[in-house]
Amino acid sequence: MSAAPIPSSPPLDAYWMPFTANQRFKSNPELFARADGMYYYRADGSSVLDGIAGLWCVNAGHRCAPVVRAIQQTADELDYAPSFQMGHPIVFEYADALVEAAPGDLSHVFFSNSGSEAVDTALKIALAYHRARNEGHRYRLVGRERDYHGVGFGGLSVSGISGHRRPYGPLLPGVLHLPHTYDRGRMAYSRGQPDWGAELADALQRLLLLHDPSTVAAVIVEPVAGSTGVLVPPKDYLPRLREICDRHGILLIFDEVITGFGRIDGMLSCEYFGVLPDLVVSAKGLTNGAVPMGATFVRRPIYDAFMQSGGSGIELPHGYTYSGHPLAAAAGLAALRHYQENRLFARAQALAPRWEALAHAMQGEPHVVDVRNIGLLAAVELAPIEGKPGQRAQQAHKACLKEGCLIRASGDTMLLSPPLIIEDAQMEQLFSTLAKVLRAA
Ligand SMILES: Cc1ncc(COP(=O)(O)O)c(C=O)c1O
């Protein structure tokens, strides 16, 4: 018996949509019925060029055939296997392939189901690591203004987006925040990493002196703050954070949920920035967005510290029912092989100069006050409409959709982060559509 087809205009009320103005959306819904390669398709057959890789995740393009096949075959063979005190072969094979591709001695990986869970896992590992080494006095975590680390209480506590934090009370105690790294007056229209600003990392040294470095467990940053507007780190900023953390025995965590899987350079971008963090958080492009999954990479000495301290019991009391789920592991393994066999990360690198040129050609278009780029990421920041922050970008987002392009709005910034399979004409289409929409606004 075949299931009844899903209607193309279903009832909208029951689903409480995440990070969405529900009432506004439901009064004028935008539903995608199908996707393929670079495009979404609506039920009426019209297409939308995907300029944001879904939500920064479909890096190999939609319905990537080997990933789809791996999910189908695995669902048919092993729908679920418990991950506590049991396992299944795919997840071990996948972990092995991932750490093989990871830089330095990032030798072990802990699986979860989202970026938020992978962040919380990293924070918990950092705290427990110090405790395992009799340094349980290290309880503070340091985040940064304008960074996004998901929505779990841990990740939210270190995140730096006030609107996300405000409804939820005091959050985790003992969290400190670094200043963000954006200064338009000094950085506007930088291509790639701005020359100015390495000294912003010294704010960490000042925070530590004020609060006693021996109380600090970890510093977490996005190498490039994605969601709040592609804030590219100044040259030497990240290495300087590394130096300061090393000086004080503090773990450095990179949240590479957006910056991984070819978005900037390679599977993880930390090598590009010349830094080896102690833990790296990943999600999104991991499975090409096809099955939810998060991954927290740790360096060997961290894993070893747990193995040496735990006797033969459970070394880390942490995990999820769906950690290393067979469908996610199969999708991740197929995605990794697909990225590697098709050299998609190198392809993105090769496209980056043209992407940069097209992005910066937006300078001088109406309302544009800055353009930022790195790898296959770009942000076009717009002057806000007076008294109505965010509205100019929302209007541009809607108008671009009408013109057949999906470009994300965050505050008054337009964000672009396409699948790595994008062709030259499609890159041109994204920016020329944005320019057209701004000229008409
Ligand atoms: C840098 C970063 N960290 C964490 C997250 C949270 O990931 P998820 O939405 O999968 O929980 C995101 C999501 O956009 C992100 O961009």
Give the CATH number, domain containing residue 413.
Answer: 3.90.1150.10
Pair (222, 241) in one structural domain = yes
Is any atom of ligand 1 closer than 6 Å to the C-beta of 295?
Answer: no
In a structure prediction context, what are the per-residue pLDDT tens digits for the chain, which is 441 residues long?
A: 456 777 778 999 999 999 999 999 999 999 999 999 999 999 999 999 999 999 999 999 999 999 999 999 999 999 999 999 999 999 999 999 999 999 999 999 999 999 999 999 999 999 999 999 999 999 999 999 999 999 999 999 999 999 999 999 999 999 999 999 999 999 999 999 999 999 999 999 999 999 999 999 999 999 999 999 999 999 999 999 999 999 999 999 999 999 999 999 999 999 999 999 999 999 999 999 999 999 999 999 999 999 998 677 999 999 999 999 999 999 999 999 999 999 999 999 999 999 999 999 999 999 999 999 999 999 999 999 999 999 999 999 999 999 999 999 999 999 999 999 999 999 999 999 999 999 998
Is the residue at 2 inside a domain? no
Pair (293, 316) in one structural domain = yes
Question: Last residue of some domain: 341, 371, 396?
Answer: 341
Is any atom of ligand 1 closer than 6 Å to the C-beta of 381?
Answer: no
Contact assessment for residue 209 and residue 215, using Cβ atoms and an 8 Å cutoff: no
Contact assessment for residue 35 and residue 242, using Cβ atoms and an 8 Å cutoff: no
Pair (316, 358) in one structural domain = no
Is any atom of ligand 1 closer than 6 Å to the C-beta of 119?
Answer: yes
Phi, psi of 155 (to 5 degrees): -60, -40
Distance 352 CA to ligand 1 centre (A): 23
Is the residue at 16 inside a domain? no
Is any atom of ligand 1 closer than 6 Å to the C-beta of 244?
Answer: no
- State the amino acid at position 27 in one-letter form: S
Question: Last residue of some domain: 320, 341, 362?
Answer: 341
Q: Which of 335, 306, 340 is nearest to 110 (CA)?
A: 306
Is the residue at 208 inside a domain? yes
Taking the C-alpha atoms of residue 225 and residue 233, their distance in angstroms, rounded to an integer, is: 8
Residue with tokens 């670094």: 178
Pocket test for ligand 1, best of 180, 228, 257 (most atoms within 8 A of CB): 257
Contact assessment for residue 227 and residue 413, using Cβ atoms and an 8 Å cutoff: no
Is any atom of ligand 1 closer than 6 Å to the C-beta of 415?
Answer: no
Torsion of CA 386, 387, 388, 392, to 10 degrees: 10
Pair (82, 31) in one structural domain = no
Pair (291, 416) in one structural domain = no
Residue 250 lies in domain: 68-341
Q: Structure pTM?
A: 0.97
Residue closest by Cα to atom 12 of ligand 1:
150
Taking the C-alpha atoms of residue 81 and residue 92, their distance in angstroms, rounded to an integer, is: 13
Residue closest by Cα to atom 1 of ligand 1:
257
Distance 441 CA to ligand 1 centre (A): 31
Q: Which of 29, 415, 430 is nearest to 227 (CA)?
A: 415
Cα radius of gyration (the chain): 22
Contact assessment for residue 264 and residue 377, using Cβ atoms and an 8 Å cutoff: yes
Is any atom of ligand 1 closer than 6 Å to the C-beta of 112?
Answer: no
Distance 116 CA to ligand 1 centre (A): 6
Is the residue at 78 inside a domain? yes
**Chain segment 195-241, per-residue pLDDT in tens:** 999 999 999 999 999 999 999 999 999 999 999 999 999 999 999 99
Give the CATH number, domain containing residue 296.
Answer: 3.40.640.10
Is the residue at 131 inside a domain? yes
Pair (424, 334) in one structural domain = no
Q: Return all residues near 312 (Cβ < 8 A) that are at least 6 apart.
A: none
Is the residue at 221 inside a domain? yes
Neighbours of 347 (CB within 10 A): 16
Q: Return all residues near 230 (Cβ < 8 A) that are at least 6 apart.
A: 224, 372, 373, 374, 377, 378, 379, 413, 415
